[in-house]
Amino acid sequence: MVLAVPEGDQLILGQSHFIKTVEDVYEALITSMPGIKFGVAFCEASGKALIRCDGSDEEAISTALKFASLLGAGHCFVVVLVGAFPINVLNRIKNVEEVAGIYCATSNPVTVMVADTGKGRGILGIVDGISARGSETESDKKERHEFLRKIGYKR
């Protein structure tokens, strides 16, 4: 199934293991950057088996909830960032105690391979974006260097 990330937004897809994931990821994000806009959704794998959600932006919460609903995979979580890049928050999320791993952090459309056992669903893997088309040239390298400096990630 394809998760089409809205233009200008970023997606983080991961695996966790406990109901407090939503609150802890929320805290990690809200304290990482002033005014950060995001939504987070988490699929429980036991008990009520609900999709728990929270965030600071209603549209991002709605998108995260939609993606989590499409996946329906136990203990997966989805973060949708608005106006922020995963590089700014990824380590904070990785350091949340119950986060077991990250599948991807991207703005590309993501194809998620999901297995369904009849009792539950799980993520087998992801395809992030498109295949490489070749190696960078000197011109491409210069463009990369300039871009990273333009957006403030390198000096």
Encoded tokens for 138: 């000197």
What distance lies between CA 150 and its chain's CA centroid?
24
In a domain, 138, yes or no: yes
Residue 153 confidence (pLDDT): 84
Q: Are 114 and 123 in contact (CB under 8 A)?
A: yes
Quick check: helix, strand or coil at residue 4? coil
Quote the distance between the C-alpha of residue 140 and its chain's center: 28
> Would 39 be classed as within a structural domain?
yes
Q: Identify whether 95 is part of a domain.
A: yes
pLDDT score recorded for residue 28: 97
The confidence score (pLDDT) of residue 154 equals 87
For the chain, the domain total comes to 1
pLDDT tens for the 155 residues of the chain, in order: 999 999 999 999 999 999 899 999 999 999 999 999 999 999 999 999 999 999 999 999 999 999 999 999 999 999 999 999 999 999 999 999 999 999 999 999 999 999 999 999 999 999 998 899 999 999 999 999 999 999 888 88
Do residues 78 and 13 make contact, with C-beta atoms less than 8 angstroms apart? yes
The answer as to whether 155 is a domain residue is: no
Q: Give me the pLDDT at residue 4, please.
A: 96
Q: Is residue 101 part of a domain?
A: yes
Q: Residue 12 falls within a domain, yes or no?
A: yes
- CATH code at 7? 3.40.1520.10
Interatomic CA distance for residues 132 and 49, integer angstroms: 38
Domain span including residue 141: 2-150
Q: Looking at the whole model, is its pTM more than 0.95?
A: no
Predicted local distance difference test score (pLDDT) of residue 113: 97
